[in-house]
Amino acid sequence: MGAWQAAAIPMPGPPSAVGHLRSHPARATTMTLLSTAPTQTGTHLASAALQTEAAARTLPVLAPVTIIEKEGYRFMHFVGCEGVTQGALRLSDPDALDLDYIHQQMAWLLFMEPSWESDFHVAQLGMGPGSTTRFCHRHLPAARITAVEVNPDVIAMARSQFALPPDDVRLRVLQQDAYDWVMDPAHQGTVDVLQVDCYDHVKQGPVLDTLEFYQACRDTLRYPGVMTVNLFGSDENFLLNIERICKVFDYRVVILPEVTGGNTIVLAFNGPPLQAGWDALQARAQALQASLKLPALSWVHGLRLTSLKPGPHLEV
Query: Which domain range does residue 49 map to?
Result: 8-62+95-315
Give the tens place of pLDDT for each residue, 205-243. 677 889 999 999 999 999 999 999 999 877 788 999 999
The pLDDT confidence band at residue 193, using thresholds 50, 70 and 90, is very high
The 3-state DSSP class for residue 182 equals: helix
The 3-state DSSP class for residue 277 equals: strand
Nearest to 28 by CA among 206, 197, 238, 211: 238
Per DSSP bridges, beta strands 191-196 and 144-149 are unpaired
Q: Give domain status of residue 87, yes or no.
A: no
Q: Give domain status of residue 77, yes or no.
A: no
Domain CATH number, residue 137: 3.40.50.150
Nearest to 265 by CA among 278, 255, 274: 255
Q: How far apart are CA 306 and CA 18, in angstroms?
A: 10
Nearest to 56 by CA among 215, 234, 217, 208: 208
Q: Give domain status of residue 75, yes or no.
A: no
Q: Give domain status of residue 99, yes or no.
A: yes
Give the angle subtended at the CA of 263 by the CAs of 280 and 132, to the nearest 5°: 65
User: Where is pLDDT greater, at 40 or 261?
Assistant: 261
User: Where is pLDDT greater, at 63 or 126?
Assistant: 126
Q: Give domain status of residue 69, yes or no.
A: no
- How much of the chain exceeds pLDDT 70, in percent? 75
Q: Please state the domain count of the chain.
A: 1
Q: Give domain status of residue 245, yes or no.
A: yes
Overall pTM surpassing 0.85 (yes/no): no
Q: Give domain status of residue 86, yes or no.
A: no
Task: Tally Cβ neighbours within 10 Å of residue 231.
Answer: 28
DSSP string, 60-97: PPP--EEEEEETTEEEEEETT-TTS-SEEEETT-TT--
- Residue 197: phi and psi, rounded to 5, are -150, 70
Nearest to 206 by CA among 230, 226, 227, 233: 230
Q: How far apart are CA 220 and CA 198, in angstroms?
A: 16
Give the tens place of pLDDT for each residue, 78-104. 766 656 666 788 888 888 888 888 999
Q: Give domain status of residue 310, yes or no.
A: yes
